[in-house]
Chain A
Amino acid sequence: MINHPVLSDNDPQKETITLNLGPTHPATHGVFQNILEMDGERIVSGVSTIGYIHRAFEKIAEHRPFYQITPLTDRMNYCSSPINNMGWHMTVEKLLNIKTPKRVDYLRVIVMELARISDHLICNGILGVDTGAFSGFLYLMEEREHIYEIYEEICGARLTTNIGRIGGFERDFNDIAFAKIKKFLVKFPPILKEFETLFNRNRIFIERTSGVAAVDPEVALNYSWSGPILRATGVDYDVRVNEPYSSYEDFDFDIPVGTTGDVYDRYIVRNEEMWQSLRIIQQALDKIEKEPKGVFHADVPEFYLPPKEEVYNNMEALIYHFKIVMGEIDTPKTEVYHAVEGGNGELGFYLVNDGGRSPYRLHFRRPSFINYQMYAPMSAGMLLSDAIINMSSLNVIAGELDA
């Protein structure tokens, strides 16, 4: 920051203490470092140092064909990687003018909303831990495990999912997957309810979070905030409603907003979004019943890899397989921006294509990166312990922050 009062430790004028908050271990919130000037327990000013796990995804993406970029997106917000995967697939589909069948859209909505729930579970669970209540976190982690089992049934992976393909999914959801989703819809609500009774009216939790790091909507918009933390300030901006993708316009759900934008409001908004996600998943399951069975990808042989047994026995499939893998198919020379509502805000993909097999330029609009820049300025004047829970409630994921 400007006017950051950094005097050397030997300087007799120095009355503040320089405190290195972090870098912390990746297993906690991620690798964050904040160099704080402390006056007693109060923060005078701070500087955020980021980039500890920068992996140059944008540069790597310029050298990879479209379908090999999906695993890179996994590793951005790894708490809700399916949303990143789907966002990338939809960007490419927009570029290539691929229209996906409704059933594919609904299947995607199910996966994305499950991912949103797991993302919010982590954030609110950790917020509980940071305010001194460990039990809520333990209850919720079991439910996250159930969500990961559903991913496992759909795509075989748990954390970095690489779920879906350009045009749809690599295979249809099997019966076990549907059974697990239905079971989750029955078993999860009582546990979320129990979590809420533990926290929502808990006096210690309220006194710890209410009024902490309150943000005005004007300030939040000025800092380009998005996602639950923006909605907690009272701005009803949600990409799912403003620019519906993947047939979100077919669903009936509410956008919860807060009033003060403090840590407590962010917690409440996230909890309410989980209830809305459950509503959406239920509606999606009902809608899928009415769609033709067995449709799990769009009919785009130029971009969707054919099944392996056909490649070995069928000439057309072999040709398409070869053309896709070797990147022999012309793509439009244009640019496209596509945004999805990620776990912590507007996740945008800006893709400039020159007609080759890999993007000319791919830029990720990463909500964690943009949301986090206000952290140091807003920490000034805050107590250290408030700054800690402020960071938990921003839900900044280091992988996405550094890309």
Chain B
Amino acid sequence: MGKINNQQVIQSLTSKFGDRITVPTEPFGLLTFGTSADNILDVLRFLKEDGELKFNYLTDITAIHFPELELSIGVIYHIHSLTNNIRVRVKVFIDGNDPRIPTATSLWEGANWMERETYDFFGVNFEGHPNLVRILNVDEMTVFPMRREYPLEDPNRVDKKDYFFGR
């Protein structure tokens, strides 16, 4: 069904961006590469508007937190070319203390809520987003709960202390 394969995507990406993207890998056949926050919009626009690649469908935007890394927040885009039936995954790692990345809402309207969700849980500031406010959590919340430093349960609760269980 697919008209182009991963190799062709890699070729046109490296010829266009050179060392502005990292070396692509293919975990489980899904082409994955990284880039920087400065280049992400160019990469996404190229993928979307190139006449041959036609990655016209934004599947998902999410983030991941590696506290031990210097650039600790990774923003992950899954993009799909419906005509070629091929997916790519683009990763951008940014500074966890000041996570900023340009918004993709200029390319896809559908990025709006995905970026709001990512902001809500990881605190990533999507610069230029029309309405970057919390979406699933309460507005009064001050933390970004999916970051690793926030434990699942309140560490101050006393009803699960060991001495209640004879330990």
A contact set with B: CB distance below 8 Å: 1-2, 50-51, 54, 56, 58-60, 62-63, 94, 219, 221-225, 235, 237, 242-243, 334-337, 339, 346, 348, 350, 352, 360-361, 363, 365, 369-370, 373-374, 402-403
Contact = CB atoms under 8 A, between A and B. Distances in A.
B135 A51 contact: yes
B117 to A, nearest CB: 7
A365 B59 contact: yes
B interface: dominant SS: mixed
Contacts of A350: 60, 62, 76, 78
A54 B117 CA distance: 12
A391 B164 CA distance: 49
A337 B30 CA distance: 8
Interface stretch (B15-23, B39-47, B82-90): B82-90
B57 interface: yes
A59 B146 contact: yes
Given A59-B152, A363-B62, A334 B27 contact: yes
Given A361-B64, A365-B60, A235 B78 contact: no
B110 A224 contact: yes
Contacts of A222: 108-110
A234 to B, nearest CB: 12
Contacts of A62: 152
Contacts of B62: 350, 363
B93 to A, nearest CB: 13
A15 B131 CA distance: 25
Given A50-B136, A237-B82, A365-B78, A337 B110 contact: no
14 contacts: A51-B136, A62-B152, A221-B56, A224-B58, A224-B114, A225-B110, A235-B82, A336-B27, A350-B62, A360-B64, A363-B62, A365-B59, A365-B60, A370-B60
Interface of B: 1, 27-28, 30, 32, 56-60, 62, 64-65, 76, 78, 82, 85, 87, 89, 108-114, 117, 121, 130-131, 135-138, 145-146, 152
A58 B118 CA distance: 12
**Residue with the highest number of chain B CB atoms closer than 10 Å, among A62, A223, A224, A361:** A224
B82 A60 contact: no
**Residue with the highest number of chain A CB atoms closer than 10 Å, among B65, B113, B152:** B113
Given A2-B130, A348-B59, A63 B152 contact: yes
Contacts of B30: 336-337
A335 B27 contact: yes
Contact of A370 (B114, B137, B152): B114
Contacts of A403: 136
A242 B1 CA distance: 8
**Residue with the highest number of chain A CB atoms closer than 10 Å, among B1, B57, B58:** B57
Contacts of B121: 58
Nearest to A352: B64
Contacts of B145: 56, 59
B110 A370 contact: yes
A2 B131 contact: yes
Nearest to B87: A337
Nearest to A236: B82
A105 to B, nearest CB: 18
A361 B135 CA distance: 20
